[in-house]
Chain A
Amino acid sequence: MATDSSHSPELTPERSSNPAETAGIDASLRTPLVALIGSALVWLLVASVLGLVSAWKLHTPAFLDACEYVTFGRLQPAQTNAFIYGWGFNAAFAVSLWLMARLSRAALPGCGVLLVGTLFWNLGVTVGIGGIILGFSTSIEWLEMPGFASPLLLVAYALIASWSLVVFRAGRSGQIFASQWYLIAALFWFPWIYSVAQVLLVFAPVRGTVQSVVHAWFSSNLLLLWFGSIGLAAIYYFLPKLLLKPVANYYLASLAFWWLVIFGSWAGISTLIGGPIPAWVQTAGAAASFMLVVPLVIIGMNHFGTLAGRWSALKDNITLRFVAFGAAAFSLVLLAWVLTSIHGIAAVTQFTFVTSAQAQLGLYGFFTMVVFGSLYYIVPRVLNTAWASAPLAGVHFAASALGVILLVGSLAVAGITQGRLLADASVPFAAVTKATESCLFAGTVALLILAIGQLAFALNFFWTLARASACCVKSAKGLLSAHSEAAR
């Protein structure tokens, strides 16, 4: 076997392989992706508004407290559900569909099913959020949408996910790349964990604190094995693609995948340390959380090894900037998970804003940032139009990065202060909440900054969409001829 030179085998640029085929795949995804991304962005803005109001209520409880429909206990779940199921899932569908189509190198055979699925999904989320505001909340964290909304979501999911599998089966990819493992895992997992959670918690509840075990299992699987998997799939794809360099230490990636998958689904129990569940279950959860150090190290090696020596590429490439930020955030998420499972630390951080900080770091700092980066790459290729405004993109990144750091930081500081004071019984409870007020205000400011970034992105997207439609209407030959324009 001829030994390779000290350089790893090079990746051939797109331009020189088969651009027409790729353009064809992108074009086939245009309508469903526009629908998904459009609805995702609307939900993101809705969630931001809800989030700003509820964050304001945290440090100024008198704000709007006369109205029952916007009491904190209803607004906060409405915000998290809008963010997770409205923004997170629509965006995840969009990114995973595109990734699956590209990596399978198969165009979408038709998009009617997907559009119906998207409609049902958004309908389900709307009904669910409405239900929470009107007082039908189940009060189960991240599953507050009432029981009449979840069947809609499952049906919609079946329609959308099955189409992804259709694309995968239609593909010709002989070798399955890391992104595809994560995508297959995520697509397969979600309906299982969601239906189990709905049945065992809402429709035929199990007895006593077995509910808490099911709930913790669901939440950690949602974060690590749905959002985590799709985010990782995107990072594993975009790093080699944009740096034209294979993933560093790629042969370890499968070990990290299986390790994450096996231990990640047990690790959620670490939130129940000290709780009314048998001690051995708490220990198992904590042990599984410690084991997350292994994928932390390996995935870190994969991502930062690939970025090593190419940091200058971040300057010119907005996708890379978002994706690198997300990769760093993912390492921090796993690290925080490990640390907060240690008894001594959990005694301080449990039941404080530190858990909110962790959730924000995972959902926003990691998943949302990676999705933003992916969308910056996906949208122009699917619409065959460049982004309408470069300054808006710059504003988006700056606002998002700053906002995430400020949000996670202020919540973490608030949480640690709160935890330390809670553990000291001589401090009256009212003093504990008083002490966190300034950090919570900083958190509200952070949410405002994030909202500015989101507005910039939404504006940019709809502007680009308008341009793309105008371009198509103008051109007499329609969609197919747009390819020849790009090829010029």
Chain B
Amino acid sequence: MNRAPIIFLGVFFALAFSFVGLVLTNQITYGAFTTHVDEEEGKAFPLPAPGLAAQGKLVYQDLGCVSCHTQQVRRAGFGADTGEHSRGWGERQSVARDYLREERVLLGSVRIGPDLRNLAARKNAEGADFTADWLYRYLLDPKLVVADSDMPRYAFLFKTRQIVGEPSPKALKLPAASAPAAGYEIVPTARGEALVAYLLSLKDTYAYPETKNVYTPPAPKKAGEKKEGHE
């Protein structure tokens, strides 16, 4: 350990070891995955996101939603993400192919807010599907919809404007207490619309071949059949 060249070489190989073993190996094995073509439906999964949803993803990134929300469903039995007695955040564990088309994978690292991976495929707290309407109201003021919510308001994704002629079809329907003054309506800005379109595109419902590789515990042996050939 007295020679600097030995230390340099050792340090280089140590990092090279993890770089090759982790980064390169994974890039070669599953970084090269392609979409899965479903013969019956004639589509390649994962489906590409519609244009507005792709813009919405950029809004999601720039507002830093990943600071509070994750987008990964862990396997059944690991926490309460999916499976029996779970929060129903997904039908199955998220697999690598679900993120294939994403230019920036935002798995998230902390759940100050719930997981969003399957937002469009699950029910909200009232048991209904998430709709654009519900999401707009939630973003404008979360407490309108979920009384105890800890999420800040995103009122800057909306604008209050005077009603000219007919009220806009995009105007939010709000209860009297939060409704704007008479003659005014609240509509989402382009960013707000894009963000909601993105959120409504979040569903990982396709069953890729690898989603079948799930561990099933061996069936418990019944008392009478304990020893084979006993009968």
Assess A/B contact in the complex (Cβ within 8 A): yes
Which A residues are closer than 8 A to B by beta carbons?
57-59, 61-62, 65-68, 71-74, 76-77, 132, 135-141, 144, 168, 174-176, 181, 184-185, 188-189, 192-193, 196, 200-201, 205-214, 217, 221, 225, 254, 258, 261-262, 265-266, 269, 271-272, 274-278, 281, 284, 343, 346-348, 350-353, 355-356, 418, 422-425, 428-431, 433-434
Known contacts A208-B102, A212-B107, A276-B107: does B80 contact A425 (CB below 8 Å)?
yes
Contact with A along B93-132 (1 / 0, CB 8 A): 1111111101111111111111000000000010000000
Number of A-B contacts (CB under 8 A): 230
Residues of A within 8 A of B112 (CB): 58, 433
The distance from the CB of B193 to the nearest CB of chain A, in whole angstroms, is 16
| Interface, chain B (partner A; CB < 8 A) | 1-4, 7-8, 10-12, 14-15, 17-19, 21-23, 26-27, 29-33, 60-68, 70, 72, 74-75, 78-80, 85-88, 93-100, 102-114, 125, 146-156
Given contacts A72-B68, A176-B7, A206-B27, contact A274 B110 (CB under 8 A): no
Known contacts A185-B7, A188-B8; decide if A196 and B87 are in contact (CB<8 Å): no
Collect the chain A residues with CB atoms within 8 Å of residue B155's CB: 65-66
Chain B contact surface mostly:
loop
Q: Check B70 against A184 for contact (C-beta < 8 Å).
A: no
Chain B contacts for A217, CB-based, 8 A: 18-19, 22-23
Q: Is the CB of B79 within 8 A of A347?
A: yes
- For A68, list chain B residues within 8 Å (CB): 63, 156
CB atoms of A205 and B104 under 8 A apart: yes
Give CA–CA (A175, B4) in the complex, Å.
10
Contact check, A278 vs B30: say whether CB atoms are below 8 A apart: yes
Residues of A within 8 A of B31 (CB): 206-208, 210
Are B107 and A274 within 8 A (Cβ)?
Answer: no
Min CB distance A428 to B, Å, is: 7
Q: Are B104 and A265 in contact (CB under 8 A)?
A: no
Q: B66 contacts which of A66, A139, A196, A355 (Cβ < 8 Å)? A: A139
Interchain residue pairs A-B with the least CB separation, the first 7: A73-B64, A430-B148, A265-B18, A274-B74, A65-B152, A135-B62, A61-B152
Report the separation of the CA atoms of residues A352 and B67 in the bound assembly, to the nearest whole angstrom.
Answer: 12
**Smallest CB–CB gap between B80 and chain A, Å?**
4
* Pairs across A and B, CB under 8 Å, 30 listed: A61-B153, A66-B153, A68-B156, A76-B64, A132-B64, A137-B64, A139-B62, A175-B2, A181-B1, A196-B19, A196-B23, A200-B23, A208-B31, A208-B102, A209-B30, A213-B22, A265-B15, A265-B17, A265-B19, A265-B22, A274-B74, A276-B94, A276-B107, A277-B26, A350-B79, A351-B111, A423-B80, A430-B147, A430-B150, A433-B149
| A residues less than 8 Å from B109 (CB atoms) | 141, 271, 351, 355
Q: Which of B11, B108, B151 contacts A61 (CB 8 A)?
A: B151
For A174, the chain B residues whose CB sits under 8 A away are 2
Whether the Cβ atoms of B67 and A275 lie closer than 8 Å is no
- The interface residues of chain B lying within 8 Å CB-to-CB of A211 are 104-105
Interface centre among A65, A351, A429 (most CB of B within 10 A): A351
B205 to chain A, nearest CB (A): 15
CB distance from A342 to the nearest CB of B (A): 12
Q: Give Cα A94 to B17, complex, Å.
A: 30
Given known contacts A209-B105, A430-B150, A434-B150, is B156 in contact with A275 (CB within 8 Å)? no
Residues of chain A within 8 A (CB-CB) of B17 are 262, 265
Contact of B80 with A208 in the complex, beta carbons under 8 Å:
no
